[in-house]
Amino acid sequence: MRLHEYQAKDVFADAGVPTPPSALATTVDEAVEHAEEIGYPVAVKAQVHVGGRGKAGGIKLVENAEEAREAADAILGMDLKGYHVDKVLVEGAVDFKNELYVGITMDRGEGKPVAMVSTQGGVNIEEVAAENPEAIAREHIDPAFGMHPYQARKAVYDAGVPKAVARDVASVLTTLYDLWENNDASDAEINPLMITEDDEVIAADAVLNVDDDALFRHPDLAEMEDEAAEDALEAKANEYGFDYVRLDGNVGIIGNGAGLVMTTLDLVDYYGGKPANFLDIGGGAKAERVVNALDMVFSDDNVDAVVFNIFGGITRGDEVAKGINEALGQFDEIPKPVVVRLAGTNAEEGREILNDELVTVEETLEGAVQRTVEYAEDEQ
């Protein structure tokens, strides 16, 4: 479960991390009222789970009530990278001289959590990791003992954080690890952690992603789940019982098995496409589940083409094919090209059964992915 920025900031603030004064608004009038109470200048920030909100027009800095009203009116109700904005965070602006990144996540290669610090905050940390990896200081943590104070200090020192704020940044990093561990989080980060002209540190953003399977241990966080829900697509995924993650590409991906779906995602990327989602419909491919999966993917305006990667194991390939035909037959019109790769038991019989007037059938996964990427490019 991914918490919204305002929810994560509440959790961070309760733990002692400095955050700017802020208030949530769902209407323009509320936004202006909160801005007046906080005092100008303020930032009006869309509350959706996407990166690059500022560049996409989802964050605006305003100096007075008129600008606050215009900003809230523009952001509330907007479509931000496929997400509908229905609430904004009105937050006191921070006069800063530097921006840092601090974060905790799991390094699966090492099998340990890792603390990360960088003086290149305020930008996409994945881009920094790819283009300038030495700009990120990393310190692996033994989960049996937790983060030692010297490890926090070392990460801060290795990153080149100014001496005047090093102690405070190390304190924030230690708190962040405690939050990560105590809340069964997968990610906890602040980007940017701002350094003010008075050498204070303030969390200008907050990320806290929690393991869904651990929510029973955290009823306070579980209460936030409905509010933190992404949008109608994530709500549908929960309703249908699908494992679903929305991404920012245009190639829809459906498969029956997490490994199968992950392989498909990797191949889409390899062949020059951009995955729009991770969607695992689970074992088998009964018509009802196929209809629900296609309904979800077709509902995503970012999707230009869909690849269906199905392996017939206990469920035979011919039965899978009949389910797909039945599912597609329930649509008055197939709105986007669909490519099907069918493998496993009775796969050949299944491919013969598939209605090639409704779908493109490919024998290999590579062929199916390449064809889907081509379709997606043609639709743009």
Q: What is the mean pLDDT of residues 25-50?
A: 95
Q: What is the mean pLDDT of residues 312-337?
A: 83
Indicate the pairing of strand 22-25 with strand 88-92: antiparallel
Fold of 96-222: D-amino Acid Aminotransferase; Chain A, domain 1 (3.30.470)
pLDDT at 49: 83
139 is in an annotated binding site: no
- Catalytic residue list contains 240: no
CATH of 230-379, one of 3.40.710.10, 3.50.50.100, 2.60.120.10, 3.40.50.261: 3.40.50.261
259 is in an annotated binding site: no
Condensed to tens digits (0 to 9), the pLDDT of residues 287-301 reads: 778 888 888 898 888
Which residue in 5, 67, 139, 189 is the catalytic one?
A: 189
Spatial distance between the Cα atoms of 48 and 345, rounded to a whole number of angstroms: 43
pLDDT at 59: 95
The DSSP letter of residue 188 is E
The count of other CB atoms within 10 Å of the CB of residue 218 is: 17
67 is in an annotated binding site: no
Spatial distance between the Cα atoms of 17 and 31, rounded to a whole number of angstroms: 24
Does the structure show a pLDDT above 60 at 229?
no
191 is in an annotated binding site: yes
Percentage with pLDDT > 70 across the chain: 96
Per the CATH hierarchy, to which homologous superfamily does domain 21-92 belong? Answer: ATP-grasp fold, A domain (3.30.1490.20)
pLDDT at 295: 85
Nearest partner of 172 among 158, 161, 186, judged by Cα: 161
pLDDT at 189: 96
90 is in an annotated binding site: no
30 is in an annotated binding site: no
| pLDDT averaged over every residue in the chain | 91
Domain ranges of the chain: 21-92, 96-222, 230-379
Q: Is 93 exposed, middle or buried (0-12, 13-18, 19+ CB in 10 A)?
A: middle
Does the structure show a pLDDT above 70 at 277?
yes
324 is in an annotated binding site: no
94 is in an annotated binding site: yes
Three-state SS for 245-297 is EECCCCEEEEECCHHHHHHHHHHHHHCCCCECEEEECCCCCCHHHHHHHHHHH
Condensed to tens digits (0 to 9), the pLDDT of residues 14-28 reads: 999 999 999 999 999
Which residue in 6, 101, 240, 375 is the catalytic one?
A: 101
- Give the global pTM: 0.72
Spatial distance between the Cα atoms of 138 and 243, rounded to a whole number of angstroms: 31
Spatial distance between the Cα atoms of 258 and 196, rounded to a whole number of angstroms: 45
Does the structure show a pLDDT above 70 at 69?
yes
371 is in an annotated binding site: no
Residue 202 in tokens: 């303030």
pLDDT at 282: 78
C-alpha separations of 157 from 146, 188, 190, 263, 354 in Å: 19, 20, 18, 39, 61
Condensed to tens digits (0 to 9), the pLDDT of residues 175-213 reads: 999 999 999 999 999 999 999 999 999 999 999 999 988
- Catalytic residue list contains 101: yes
Spatial distance between the Cα atoms of 44 and 62, rounded to a whole number of angstroms: 8
Among 124-133, 139-148, 226-235, where is mean pLDDT lowest? 226-235
Spatial distance between the Cα atoms of 112 and 92, rounded to a whole number of angstroms: 36
Q: Please, are residues 174 and 149 in contact by the beta-carbon 8 Å criterion?
A: yes
Among 61-65, 151-155, 296-300, 363-367, where is mean pLDDT lowest? 296-300
54 is in an annotated binding site: yes
